[in-house]
Amino acid sequence: MSNKVAIIASNGGVFDAYKVFNIATAAAATEKEVAIFFTFEGLNLIHKQAMHAVPLPEGKEHFAEGFAKANVPSIPQLVEMAQELGVKFIGCQMTMDVMGLTKDDFIDGIEVGGAVTFLEFAKDASPTLTF
Amino acid sequence: MSLKADVQLDAKGLACPMPIVKTKKAMDDLIDGQILEVVATDKGSKADLAAWADSVGHQFIGTIEEEDILKHYIRKCSNEIIEEQPFEHTISISELQTLKSGVLLDVREEVEYAFGHIEGAKSIPLGELEDRLNELDKEQEIYIVCRTGKRSDLAASKLAANGFTKVFNVVPGMTSWKGNLSKNI
């Protein structure tokens, strides 16, 4: 059985963030080796400023109340927890170039790499998930 | 009600995946064989914690539900193999029902006993055995059972070292018991 879980985060909304980080932290807590490849809008989720203001999808703003009521941890909290549990964050170099961003725009402890960096990790991972 | 646990974790009010993450962290500090009680309100924690324990190799003992509170009991297990010489006198668990005399001694933790034991079994957790030898009769046959036969093996050797001669380790253990279970919950 594979002990790796590979996740691609390619969207930057609140719903996407919770899908990505809940699965990642739960997998890491279950002693899986986890890597998340952040690409395109997914980079929002680990951007130093943007991660504090991740938007709800248009027309779904009313869910904010539900998130507060369910006592769901904040996105920065989930990010910190994921890193503490050893989840590897890989930022997509190509997207960063397109958006004019550098490694310094992101939280500490991330790796920057291309598609092959992720593929190398994901080749024997099960499951591989895309959000 | 609350059962005896070595460590308690308060996960009330926390949503997924926090109960799992907190349980994992708490479990890291336990020693092998200790029992963690996780008190949670997340309804999903019942299925999640059982699956988590199963996946990482700990023993999920059971859950007590009281109104909105869920109390989960998990026993820490490692995969270490005991290299010592096993206790020589054994009896298969399937033969237990044919026995006419003797006492069945269950050396699992109180919580495990509470969630299911063989009718009439006497409960003395392995850790308390040394101090409770006076509750046992040297003239009677003593059949010792645990979950998989490891703790009962240690208990059998301990009794033999203390002058008990009619001691048998029940193998493999409760995991293979096909009969009825009595509960104290």
Q: Across the 185 residues of chain B, what is the mean pLDDT of every consecutive 10-residue run?
A: 90 92 94 95 91 91 93 86 75 89 95 95 94 95 94 93 94 92 90
Q: Any CB–CB contact under 8 A between A72 and chain B? A: yes
Euclidean distance between CA atoms B176 and B148, whole angstroms? 8
Helix, strand, coil content of chain A in percent (nearest 5): 45, 20, 35
Chain A residues inside the 8 Å CB shell of B21: 25-26, 29, 81, 85
pLDDT at B49: 94
DSSP state of B146: -
> Is-contact B96 B108, C-beta < 8 A?
no
The one-letter code for the residue type at B93 is I
Indicate whether B130 belongs to any domain. yes
Asked if B51 and B110 sit in the same domain, the reply is: no
Active site residue ranges of B: 16
A29: nearest CB among B13, B15, B21: B21
Q: Which of B16, B45, B75 is the last residue of a domain?
A: B75
Window A:17-36, CB contacts with B under 8 Å: 22, 25-26, 29-31
Asked if B129 and B165 sit in the same domain, the reply is: yes
Q: What is A4-130's CATH topology?
A: Hypothetical Protein Ychn; Chain: A, (3.40.1260)
- Percent of chain A whose predicted confidence (pLDDT) is above 90: 87
pLDDT at B82: 54
Chain B residues inside the 8 Å CB shell of A73: 15, 18
The one-letter code for the residue type at B88 is E
pLDDT at B139: 93
CA-based nearest residue in chain A for residue B43:
A70
Asked if B55 and B113 sit in the same domain, the reply is: no
Asked if B126 and B169 sit in the same domain, the reply is: yes
Q: Which of B75, B108, B132 is the last residue of a domain?
A: B75
pLDDT at A68: 86
pLDDT at A2: 80
Indicate whether B82 belongs to any domain. no
Asked if B66 and B102 sit in the same domain, the reply is: no
> Is-contact A43 A91, C-beta < 8 A?
yes
User: Degrees (nearest 5) of the Cα angle B85, B132, B152?
Assistant: 30
Q: Is the ipTM beyond the 0.85 threshold?
A: no
> Is-contact B158 B129, C-beta < 8 A?
yes
Indicate whether B2 belongs to any domain. no
Euclidean distance between CA atoms A61 and A57, whole angstroms? 7
Q: How many domains does chain B have?
A: 2
Cβ–Cβ below 8 Å for B55 and A30? yes
Q: Which of B41, B75, B109 is the last residue of a domain?
A: B75
Residues of chain A below pLDDT 50: none
- For B29-173, where are the alpha helices, taking DSSP H only? 45-56, 110-114, 150-161
Tell me the per-residue pLDDT of B13-45, one tens digit each, with 9 for 90 and over.
Answer: 998 889 999 999 999 999 999 999 999 999 889
The torsion region of residue B57 among left (phi > 0), alpha (psi -120 to 50) and beta comes to left
Cβ–Cβ below 8 Å for A29 and B52? yes
Indicate whether B96 belongs to any domain. yes
Domain boundaries defined on chain A: 4-130
Cβ–Cβ below 8 Å for B17 and A72? no
Burial zone of B134 (CB within 10 Å; 0-12 exposed, 13-18 middle, 19+ buried): exposed
pLDDT at B80: 57
Indicate whether B183 belongs to any domain. no
A29: nearest CB among B13, B15, B24: B24
What CATH code is carried by the domain that includes residue B162?
3.40.250.10
Where in the sequence is the domain holding B103, given as residue range(s)? 90-176
Token digits of residue B60: 């999920």
Tell me the per-residue pLDDT of A25-38, one tens digit each, with 9 for 90 and over.
Answer: 999 999 999 999 99
Q: Any CB–CB contact under 8 A between A71 and chain B? A: yes
Asked if B94 and B42 sit in the same domain, the reply is: no
- Contacts by residues B96-103 (CB-CB < 8 Å, ≥ 24 positions apart): B96/B143, B96/B170, B96/B179, B97/B179, B99/B141, B99/B143, B101/B140, B101/B141, B102/B140, B102/B141, B102/B142, B102/B143, B102/B166, B103/B136, B103/B137, B103/B140, B103/B141, B103/B142, B103/B143
Chain B residues inside the 8 Å CB shell of A85: 21, 24
Query: Taking Cα atoms as reference points, which of A45, A65, A46 lies closest to residue A55?
Result: A45
Cβ–Cβ below 8 Å for B15 and A29? no
Indicate whether B182 belongs to any domain. no
Size of interface A-B (CB pairs under 8 A): 34
* Order of all β-strands in the sheet with B59-66: B7-11, B35-40, B69-75, B59-66
**pTM reported for the whole predicted model:** 0.81
